[in-house]
Chains A and B, each alone.
Chain A
Amino acid sequence: MMTLSCNSAILSESRALLTGPIGTIQNAYGEILTLLLASIESSSSAPAVSLVDQEDIAQTLNSDSQAYKRIMDRHQEHVSRIMWKFTRDSRIHQELVQDVFVEAYMSLSNYKAKAPLAHWLARVATYVGYGYWRSEKKTNKTEHFTFEEWDQVAQNNSASQLAPQDAARLLYELLAQLPNRDRLVLTLRYLEQCDVQETASRTGWSESMVKVQSWRARNKLKKLFEKNGRELEL
């Protein structure tokens, strides 16, 4: 941030010199500098890493474990909320949150501070959660889902009246019937309420891939319903 403001000052002075009253070339340079200043200002107003996080990250990288404890205390609720979308077993949930912070510590030297720490942790959490689903598939563990329960909700149009934990569980179990990539994109888009850009950031996919994957996942969901003698309007 200091570097950006120094450059801004230098460029402002340069602009003042070059956009003097003499000649159109000087005006052209002035235009270029205006654009450059605008790009610097827009990048300096991008979400920054908080000072507290910056200090604790620096101290953690200097092997201060209490600094990392402070980071965990600040961010574990956020990470916990994300990991609850990947499992509804309390014991496994705690293990996954633990795994996220162990993984984050191991990768902390790779954190470039281009986005807030919470965003980076969300990405680590997504990788850990997705890895957990893949290991679940290998052991053939499946989540229980009944279309009868879905039918009750659909017939009574009672989705918005369900208790939050029942709504979350039903949706979680429904999405668990899909292949992992489809499950992931719909979990991020609907359970996590991520837009396309954030989904791309969390998964490492391009935005166009997120859109394609979302479309495919919705179609697979539709086919799942049709296979069970139901229709799902999309």
Chain B
Amino acid sequence: MINKIIQNLASQAQKETIPQVNVSDSVLSILNSQPIAMVSYKPMAWIATAATAAAACVAIAAFLSLKPSSPDVATDIYQAISWVTQ
């Protein structure tokens, strides 16, 4: 429990009259001056995902185009493994 004086101060403070403000017009003028007023983050997340997927596809295509073609992939893999284990 908080101190009784603080509680009494807090109760009195509830009765305070707050300064009047009217910010509607100033808020609207701020919002109208911004080129993109509302940003929704979900479409941006989708754009980021699509860009990543596209980049991954380009990287795989580049790897495949640079790798020399082999008639027997299994033999290549076996030889690579046996070289490492020797």
Contact = CB atoms under 8 A, between A and B. Distances in A.
A132 B39 CA distance: 23
A106 B37 CA distance: 7
Contacts of B38: 61, 105-106, 108-109
Contacts of B6: 171, 174, 190
Nearest to A161: B12
A234 B2 CA distance: 5
B12 A162 contact: yes
Contact of A190 (B10, B22, B32, B40): B10
A74 to B, nearest CB: 10
B17 A165 contact: yes
B80 interface: no
A69 B24 contact: yes
B8 interface: yes
Interface residues of A, number: 47
A102 B27 CA distance: 6
A164 B21 contact: no
Contacts of B23: 72, 76, 94, 97-98, 101
B38 to A, nearest CB: 6
B27 A84 contact: no
A178 interface: no
Given A108-B38, A190-B2, A80 B21 contact: yes
- Among A81, A93, A165, the most chain B Cβ lie within 10 Å of the Cβ of A165
A84 B39 CA distance: 29
Contacts of B31: 65, 68, 102, 105
Interface in A155-180: 157, 159-160, 162-165, 167-168, 170-171, 174
Contacts of A163: 12
A93 B19 contact: yes
A26 B22 CA distance: 61
B69 interface: no
Interface string A4-34: 0000000000000000000000000000000
Given A84-B18, A164-B13, A191-B13, A154 B2 contact: no
B8 A159 contact: yes
Contacts of A90: 19
Interface in B1-55: 1-24, 26-28, 30-32, 37-40
B39 A102 contact: no
17 contacts: A68-B31, A72-B24, A73-B24, A76-B22, A77-B18, A84-B19, A93-B21, A98-B23, A98-B26, A167-B9, A167-B10, A167-B16, A168-B13, A168-B16, A171-B9, A171-B10, A191-B10
5 closest A-B pairs by CB? A159-B8, A167-B12, A168-B13, A164-B16, A164-B15
